[in-house]
Amino acid sequence: MTTQTLSKAAPGKTTKAMAISSEALSYAWSEQTTPIKFPDIQLAVGEHLFLQGASGSGKSTLLALLSGLAVPLHGTLGIMGQDLPGMSSGQRDRFRADHLGVIFQQFNLVPYLSVLGNVLLPCHLSARRRNQTLPTPEAEAETLLTALNIAPELWHRKVTGMSVGQQQRVAAARALIGSPALILADEPTSALDADNRDRFIDLLLGQAETRQTSVVFVSHDQALAPHFRQHLMLETQS
């Protein structure tokens, strides 16, 4: 399996600090499987990348590498100028807590925590994220939830009764709180209808823009591409 890139570099951004900088990345889930090779990525701080690819193209694997949950077989990977593969497992966990926000396709929330409990989770795991909230973690969580159209009466309720669209927006608030450097979104709109999908992307990217947070947005849906200036396509080749 190989991958190929179809990126459109943003003009005039080459001198900015890089959120992601990877070169000749490859990964194998086991010794028996053929390694997946990934295209090089250069994503400046505050930029948003649309990562497109069909099922089996290695999108989630790439996200696992970018999040530090997996370590590449070969190649270099820098996140916010830090050599992620060179860190220990514990350092990568800490780095993820401090600098990354993650949004999944669905079932994004811890079922036994309230809406606010879910949003505040990163602040409990990272002092840096907690200190970056303004003025307090609770106040920022409420600001984010309001901005993402989650009604106040839902804030203290369990998340299990909410619609998928509401759950995804709560997940976005959790990813954004404490202004992490990078948000990894793994097909977060695949369970939403077209209206909710566009509104979700606009809200997410708008908030990310405000915080100078870089976003890697994974989807197999080509219709979302216009929301992004940088694109990367992973292709499956047998």
Partner 1 sequence: MKFRLATSLAFASLWHRRGVLGLVTLTLTLSITLLLGVQYLRTEVRQSFSNTISGTDLIVGARSGQLNLLLYTVFHLGDATNNIRWSTYQTLKEDDRIDWLVPISLGDSLKGYRVVGTDDGFLRHFRYGNEQALKLEDGAWFRDVFDVVLGAEVARELNHVVGDDIVLSHGTGSVSFMNHKDTPFEVTGILKPTGTPVDRAVYVSLEGLEAIHIGWESGVALPDRTVTPEQARSRDLTPGNITAALVGIERKVLTFQVQRQINESQAEPLSAILPGVALSELWRVLGQFEKALLGITGFVVVTSLIGLTAVLLTLQAQRRQEITILRATGASPSLIASLYLLECVLLSVVACVIAIGLGAAAIALLGPWLLEQQGIQIGLRGLNGSEWIILACVPAASLLVAMIPAWRAWRGSHHQGLSATSHE
CB 18: neighbour CB atoms within 10 A? 19
DSSP-derived 3-state class of residue 32: coil
Residue range at the interface with partner 1 (CB under 8 A); choices 10-18, 78-86, 101-109, 144-152: 101-109
Largest CA distance in the chain: 52
CB of 108 to partner 1, least distance (A): 7
Q: Which two tokens stand for residue 83?
A: 């050599």
Near partner 1 by CB under 8 A: residue from 48, 96, 197, 211: 96
* φ, ψ for residue 232, nearest 5 deg: -145, 130
Near partner 1 by CB under 8 A: residue from 10, 45, 87, 121: 121
CA distances from 136 to 80, 123, 132, 133, 159 (A): 25, 10, 9, 6, 22
Interacting residues with partner 1 between 73 and 92 (CB under 8 A): 89-90
46-102-23-73 Cα dihedral, nearest 10 degrees: 170
Interacting residues with partner 1 between 178 and 197 (CB under 8 A): 184, 186
Size of the site for partner 1 (CB under 8 A): 40
Near partner 1 by CB under 8 A: residue from 104, 164, 224, 229: 104
The strand ranges marked E within the chain are 18-27, 36-37, 41-44, 48-53, 74-79, 82-83, 100-103, 182-186, 214-219, 230-234
Near partner 1 by CB under 8 A: residue from 42, 52, 61, 133: 61
237 binds partner 1 (CB under 8 A): no
DSSP state for residue 210 in the 8-state scheme: H
126 binds partner 1 (CB under 8 A): yes
Residue range at the interface with partner 1 (CB under 8 A); choices 14-22, 112-120, 195-203, 207-215: 112-120
39 binds partner 1 (CB under 8 A): no
Nearer to partner 1, 70 or 154 (CB): 70
Nearer to partner 1, 8 or 29 (CB): 29
Near partner 1 by CB under 8 A: residue from 108, 179, 189, 219: 108
DSSP string covering 88-148 = -HHHHHHHHHHHEEEE-SS--S-TTSBHHHHHHHHHHH-HHHHHTSSS-HHHHHHHHHHHT
Residue range at the interface with partner 1 (CB under 8 A); choices 43-51, 65-73, 74-82, 139-147: 65-73
The angle at the Cα of 204, spanning 199 to 208, to the nearest 5 degrees, equals 150
Residues interacting with partner 1, by CB under 8 A? Answer: 29, 55-61, 63-64, 67, 69-70, 89-90, 93-94, 96-98, 100, 102, 104, 107-113, 117, 121-122, 124-127, 174, 184, 186
